[in-house]
Structure 1
Amino acid sequence: KNWRGKPLLTHATIVNLIAATKTNAGLKVHCALDTKKYPKAIKPTAEQMAGINLKPNKFHGNWNYSIALDKK
């Protein structure tokens, strides 16, 4: 359920809820449903993982992190 207590029963309901999000600073969120089919169980190589710029959060950084842009 969302904050209004409405059940999130359809993709459209979820997408519309996310798309209606606006921050206190006035930033808006754009959202669309991705219906593409993606392959499952793809394992990245150790080299690929090492190339990801992970920034751990102060709280449980092993679980909570951001993916930072590559430094070029």
Structure 2
Amino acid sequence: MPIIVNVDVMMAKRKMSLNELSEKVDITLSNLSILKTGKAKAIRFSTLEAICKALDCQPADVLEYQPDTK
């Protein structure tokens, strides 16, 4: 998939644990883990907004586009 999710990178930069982000964003650990590992197929704007607010970042810091090399 050409969309790369960099939640783990931003969490490391902010020294924030998965549990802490889960509490701040009000999302389950399992759903956050799916998002963090790049296995999610979609994300709600409200969830993206909450993640950006919790990590004090922009959506472009969390999501990245890399075209397929086919």
- Whether TM exceeds 0.5 here: the answer is no
TM normalised by structure 1 equals 0.24
Structure ranking higher on relative contact order (CA contacts 8 Å, 6+ apart): 2
* TM-score, structure 2 normalization: 0.25
Name the structure where helix makes up a greater proportion of residues: 2
